[in-house]
Amino acid sequence: MALNKKSVDDINVSGKRVLVRCDFNVPLKNGEITDETRIVAALPTINKLIKDGGKVILCSHLGKVKNGPNEGESLAPVAKRLSEKLGKDVNFVSDYNVTGDVATAAVNAMKEGDVVLLQNTRFRGQEETKNGEQFSKELADLADVYVCDAFGSSHRAHASVAGVTKCISAKGGENAVGYLMQKEIDFLGNAVENPVRPFVAILGGAKVADKLNVINNLLEKCDTLIIGGGMAFTFLKAKGMEVGNSLVDNEKLDYCKEMMDKADKLGKKLLLPVDTTIADHFPDPIDGPIDVEVVDADKIPADKEGLDIGTKTAELYADAVKSAKTVVWNGPMGVFENPILAKGTIAVAKSLAETDATTIIGGGDSAAAVNQLGFADKMSHISTGGGASLEFLEGKELPGVVAADDK
Give whichever of 57 and 370 is closer to ligand AMP, judged by the CB atom.
Answer: 370
Q: Closest CB to ligand AMP belongs to which residue?
A: 205
**Could you say which of 173, 244, 273, 334 contacts ligand AMP (CB under 6 A)?**
334
The distance of closest approach from Cβ of residue 235 to ligand AMP in the complex, given in angstroms and rounded to an integer, is 12
Element (H, E) at 28: strand 28-29
Angstrom CA distances, 243 to 204, 280, 298, stand at 17, 13, 8
* Distance (Å, whole) CA 321 – CA 243: 26
The distance of closest approach from Cβ of residue 287 to ligand AMP in the complex, given in angstroms and rounded to an integer, is 10
Give whichever of 69 and 334 is closer to ligand AMP, judged by the CB atom.
Answer: 334
Adjacent-strand bridge partners of 226: 202, 271
The distance of closest approach from Cβ of residue 382 to ligand AMP in the complex, given in angstroms and rounded to an integer, is 15
Decide if 334 is catalytic.
no
How do beta strands 224-227 and 199-203 pair?
parallel
Residue 229 binds ligand AMP, judged by CB under 6 A: yes
* Distance (Å, whole) CA 98 – CA 215: 39
Read off φ and ψ for residue 148, nearest 5 degrees.
-100, 120
Residues 301-320 that bind ligand AMP (CB under 6 A): 306-307
Query: Which range touches ligand AMP (CB under 6 A), out of 74-82, 112-120, 166-174, 330-338?
Result: 330-338
Contact 114, 139 (CB under 8 A): no
Catalytic residue (one of 207, 239, 312, 396):
207
| Residues 105-121: b if buried by 16+ CB within 10 A, e if exposed | ebbeebeeebbbbbbbb
The distance of closest approach from Cβ of residue 18 to ligand AMP in the complex, given in angstroms and rounded to an integer, is 35
**Could you say which of 95, 337, 394, 405 contacts ligand AMP (CB under 6 A)?**
337
Give the residue among 119, 151, 36 at the shortest CA–CA distance from 85. 36
Query: Which range touches ligand AMP (CB under 6 A), out of 85-93, 142-150, 161-169, 327-335?
Result: 327-335
Query: Which range touches ligand AMP (CB under 6 A), out of 39-47, 261-269, 332-340, 351-359?
Result: 332-340
Decide if 207 is catalytic.
yes
Residues 244-263 that bind ligand AMP (CB under 6 A): 247
| # residues near ligand AMP by CB under 6 A | 16
Query: Which range touches ligand AMP (CB under 6 A), out of 122-130, 164-172, 250-258, 334-342?
Result: 334-342
Count CB neighbours of 30 within 10 A: 6
Give the residue among 185, 192, 189 at the shortest CA–CA distance from 151. 185
Query: Which range touches ligand AMP (CB under 6 A), out of 73-81, 106-114, 177-185, 199-207?
Result: 199-207
- 241's CB contacts (< 8 A; 6+ apart) are 297, 298, 300
Identify the three-state secondary structure at position 145. strand
Count CB neighbours of 87 within 10 A: 7
Count CB neighbours of 351 within 10 A: 23
Give whichever of 176 and 369 is closer to ligand AMP, judged by the CB atom.
Answer: 369
Give whichever of 103 and 393 is closer to ligand AMP, judged by the CB atom.
Answer: 393
**Could you say which of 132, 173, 205, 244 contacts ligand AMP (CB under 6 A)?**
205
Query: Which range touches ligand AMP (CB under 6 A), out of 4-12, 84-92, 129-137, 326-334?
Result: 326-334
Residue 230 binds ligand AMP, judged by CB under 6 A: yes
Give whichever of 142 and 208 is closer to ligand AMP, judged by the CB atom.
Answer: 208
Catalytic residue (one of 6, 16, 17, 38):
38
Residues 207-226 that bind ligand AMP (CB under 6 A): 207, 210
How do beta strands 115-117 and 381-382 pair?
unpaired
Q: Is there a cis peptide before residue 285, judged by omega within 30 degrees of 0? A: yes
To the nearest 10 degrees (0 to 180), the angle between helices 364-372 and 386-393 is 120
Kindly state the DSSP code that residue 406 receives in the 8-state scheme. Answer: B
* Distance (Å, whole) CA 83 – CA 112: 16
Catalytic residues: 38, 207, 364, 387
Task: List residues binding ligand AMP (CB under 6 A).
Answer: 205-207, 210, 229-230, 247, 306-307, 331-332, 334-335, 337, 364-365
